[in-house]
Amino acid sequence: MNNFLNADLRLVKGPEKVELVEADQPLFFLYWKNDVEVFEEPTIFIFEKFVRSSGTPSKHTWEAAGYDLLSWFQWCQARGIDWRNASESNRQQFADDYHAASSDPRTINRKLTAVRRFYEFSRAEGWYHRDIGASMELRQIANRPIDDAPLAHTRSSSSHTKEKDTLLLKVGRKDVIRPMQANQLKKLIEYVGPVIQVAGDDRPVRDRLICDLGWISGARLGDVTKLTTLQFLSLTVEPHQMNNDFPIIVEGKMRVTRKVAAPGWLVFAIQAYIQGGRAESEREGRKRGAKRTTTLFLGHPVGKSAGKPITSSAIQKMFALACMKCGITELKEVQDEDTGKKHIKTTPAHSFHDLRHNCAVLTYHAERAQGNAEPWKIVQIKLGHKSLNVTLDTYLAHVSIFGEKQGITDIRRLLGIKT
């Protein structure tokens, strides 16, 4: 008799968009010797909570959630437990087994969370009636001090409640603030292209402008992909305003808006890109049926994504390739998922987000050079931090990497870049 316990579980990606299936959507299947069925419950869960989510998580997030659930179902089969009969004590044992195998605590927590969310969804759909998720506790959390929260005076109480999954492992803070060294940053931004298209240099300007928004304005990856042409075409930059900051509204984490400061010269360069490289990409895209869009950065005119908005993954790949070409690399020990063997691999030493860390450090030095006794306040405003402690304790932990230079008004001069 065909059932969950004697099935061969497989996870595949949808090859293309058809009806309710998106391209690359994770799909679960149950295989038996003479039969195959869609494993509907986890497939529906992934679609509803990830693929169709209003938060638009990336396809990598879909895939990670799919494999996390696959590992859980395979664990249940190995233990002889039908997924519908699994309990909270089973979820605890699942975590213990992965911990005993020396898995990273963050990976374990991600798997535990995926399993809990799946069963909460299954309970709401009437597919599951046991106790997974019972380890969730409501805890009283003290609000941030009034000095750290400008709207603290509007709250009706001094604390708030928050759900906590008590099975999650305690994970120590990991310092991932890694600004690039000055010589590395200079080498990379000169490699990716010119700021303004000039005769004799056929490199497109798009990638340079994207990087400049990171290290000059402190824009996050998500900020860059959401920028529109209207935000820049509405600005007028006079010749004497090239070093003046112009506010650009961006939508950041949790859909909270904030202002990003773009200097006049960068606004001017982006406007030139809109009229030049972007317009060319738009024309090529329309020949291939691409829809009109106001998204600022589009695929290169000669590429298959011409006329289409650039994606976060495309920016990450561009940045990683630039690091590799510039020799900004590091050696990492990686494990082959199929064989389990470990080997050394050369990988990019930095990610696009590290440019934001450079923005913090460079702004600090530029403000110090101008005689600002409290430069961290400008850094806080520029990065959009609610808490000054985040700016001081995290982003400005590396301010010494550029040394002290006097008389700097344009932070490009800190790298010796011609202005």
CATH number, domain of 32, equals: 1.10.150
Residues 353, 218: Cα–Cα separation, whole Å: 9
Mean pLDDT in residue range 26-36? 93
Name which residue leads in pLDDT, 366 or 291.
Answer: 291
Residue 288 in domain: no
Could you give the percent of the chain with pLDDT greater than 90? 53
Mean pLDDT in residue range 43-61? 81
Residue 218 structure tokens: 């402190």
Name which residue leads in pLDDT, 197 or 159.
Answer: 197
Mean pLDDT in residue range 203-220? 94
Give the residue numbers spanning the domain of 11. 4-138
Provide the pLDDT for residue 163: 84
pLDDT tens by residue, 262-279: 999 999 999 999 999 999
One domain for residues 244 and 392: yes
Angle of the 375-383 helix axis to the 354-369 helix axis, nearest 10 = 150
Q: Which of 117-131, 164-178, 184-198, 204-218 is least confident?
A: 164-178
Predicted confidence (pLDDT) at residue 349 exceeds the cutoff of 90: yes
Q: Are 188 and 180 in contact (CB under 8 A)?
A: yes
Task: Give the burial class of 112: count Cβ atoms within 10 A of its Cβ; 0-12 exposed, 13-18 middle, 19 or more buried.
Answer: buried
Residue 359 in domain: yes
- DSSP letter string, 56-86: ---HHHHHHHHHHHHHHHHHHHHHT--GGG-
Q: Which of 205-214, 325-334, 357-366, 388-397 is least confident?
A: 388-397
Mean pLDDT in residue range 107-132? 95
Provide the pLDDT for residue 401: 44
One domain for residues 60 and 189: no
Residues 85, 5: Cα–Cα separation, whole Å: 12
One domain for residues 334 and 414: yes
Residue 202 in domain: yes
Provide the pLDDT for residue 408: 42
CATH number, domain of 255, equals 1.10.443.10
One domain for residues 132 and 189: no
Q: Are 65 and 114 in contact (CB under 8 A)?
A: yes
Predicted confidence (pLDDT) at residue 155 exceeds the cutoff of 60: no
Mean pLDDT in residue range 39-67? 85
Residue 164 in domain: no
Provide the pLDDT for residue 145: 52
Residue 52: count of CB within 10 angstroms of its CB:
12
Mean pLDDT in residue range 232-250? 93
Residue 156 in domain: no
pLDDT tens by residue, 369-384: 888 888 877 787 777 7
Of the pLDDT bands very low, low, confident and very high (cuts 50, 70, 90), residue 254 is: low
pLDDT tens by residue, 186-208: 999 999 999 998 888 889 999 99
One domain for residues 212 and 263: yes
Boundary residue ending a domain (138, 159, 187): 138
Boundary residue ending a domain (120, 138, 156): 138
Q: Is the pTM of this model over 0.75?
A: no
One domain for residues 17 and 102: yes
Predicted confidence (pLDDT) at residue 400 exceeds the cutoff of 60: no
One domain for residues 36 and 96: yes
Provide the pLDDT for residue 151: 46
Rounded to the nearest integer, the mean pLDDT of the chain is 85
Residue 91 in domain: yes
- Strand segments (E) across 242-302: 245-251, 257-263
Question: Residue 28: beta bridge partners?
Answer: 11
Of the pLDDT bands very low, low, confident and very high (cuts 50, 70, 90), residue 260 is: confident
One domain for residues 190 and 103: no
One domain for residues 256 and 353: yes
Name which residue leads in pLDDT, 202 or 334.
Answer: 202
Residue 386 in domain: yes
Residue 153 in domain: no
One domain for residues 124 and 222: no
Count of domains for the chain? 2
Q: Are 108 and 84 in contact (CB under 8 A)?
A: no
Predicted confidence (pLDDT) at residue 15 exceeds the cutoff of 80: no
Provide the pLDDT for residue 159: 59
One domain for residues 341 and 197: yes
Residues 295, 209: Cα–Cα separation, whole Å: 14
Return the top range by mean pLDDT from 163-167, 189-193, 373-377, 394-398.
189-193
Provide the pLDDT for residue 79: 94
Name which residue leads in pLDDT, 256 or 363.
Answer: 363
Boundary residue ending a domain (90, 117, 138): 138
Mean pLDDT in residue range 287-302? 95
Of the pLDDT bands very low, low, confident and very high (cuts 50, 70, 90), residue 105 is: confident
Predicted confidence (pLDDT) at residue 149 exceeds the cutoff of 50: no
Q: Are 165 and 135 in contact (CB under 8 A)?
A: yes
One domain for residues 180 and 123: no
